[in-house]
Amino acid sequence: MAKPQLRITCKECGKRRIKARLTSGRKATKSLCQPCYDNDKASIFFGSSAGDWFTKRAIAHCTNSIPKDTDELIRLIKLYKQASSAKGWSCTQGEFALEYDYELCHKDPCKGDGFTGALVADNLFIGLKSVNREMGNIVPITNFGHRITSQGEAITSTNARAIIKELYDLERVVSECKLIRKLNKTFTDFTARASIEPSDLFNKILEGYGHDVEGYRLPPERVKEGFFTLHNLPRVLAYVFLTQYGKIEGYEPF
């Protein structure tokens, strides 16, 4: 005979119900019933890929160097999702893999001499993971204006979730960024990604800064060098780097 399922008092609705189970079948850690767990926006945020990424990155920062409000966090999460989509998804002989290896890169580095590079959308861009790792915490020639010298409250693995819940409207973040728990993702969530080639990504970044990139394209052997300029130099010099290779007739970047 199967053991009767134990009931808990749901901390959200106050009703005596069976404790919620995750998609994996394991019981939820919080005392929530299934309907409340499914609608718990904070749980959805921290259980999503984007929310998990932000929480882990915030631990390297302080309250002065993370998004100051919900609007800024939404911008950051949307940039993270753009980076994830840009990677694409390829299949070779039944084996699936990321098509391109991109990640969010700091302009002003996360850790500098006497400052912290802010974890905000304006201080990040989608770049090559290989170049980002080579740059590490090297301070670029350009001061991009996102260096935080006044330290706020330290964010640790112990207090990170409490700070994030207090600072941001996570219901808005989940709704506007269309976040779902990682365990609820389907095969289609990955294969539907619209990948962007590195040369086109380089153009897209410069276009975002107001440069006319129509008809220009870095040859594959110059892409890595081009992304080094984005890390280190004023954007106008990255544009010069692009245009010195000439105009390609009939080429449309996007």
Report domain extents, the chain.
7-38, 197-254
pLDDT value at position 242? 93
Lowest mean pLDDT across 65-79, 141-155, 191-205, 213-227 = 191-205
| Pair of tokens at residue 109 | 């580095």
pLDDT at residue 250 greater than cutoff 90: no
Separation CA 131–CA 151 (nearest Å): 28
In the sheet where 147-148 sits, what is the strand order? 111-112, 115-117, 147-148
Residue 202 Cα distances to 40, 75, 89, 113, 128, angstroms: 38, 20, 19, 29, 10
Mean pLDDT of 19-34: 71
Span between the terminal Cα atoms of the chain, in Å = 62
pLDDT value at position 194? 73
89 pLDDT tier (thresholds 50, 70, 90): confident
pLDDT at residue 252 greater than cutoff 60: no
Mean pLDDT of 188-193: 59
DSSP calls for 169-203: -HHHHHHHHT---GGG--HHHHHT-----HHHHHH
251 pLDDT tier (thresholds 50, 70, 90): very low
Mean pLDDT of 189-209: 84
pLDDT value at position 1? 45
pLDDT value at position 190? 57
254 pLDDT tier (thresholds 50, 70, 90): very low
Range with the largest mean pLDDT of 138-142, 149-153, 158-162: 158-162
247 pLDDT tier (thresholds 50, 70, 90): low
Separation CA 22–CA 42 (nearest Å): 15
182 pLDDT tier (thresholds 50, 70, 90): confident
Kindly report the average pLDDT of the chain as a whole number: 86
User: pLDDT tens, 50-72?
Assistant: 999 999 999 989 999 999 999 99
pLDDT value at position 181? 85
22 pLDDT tier (thresholds 50, 70, 90): low
Lowest mean pLDDT across 21-30, 147-156, 212-221 = 21-30
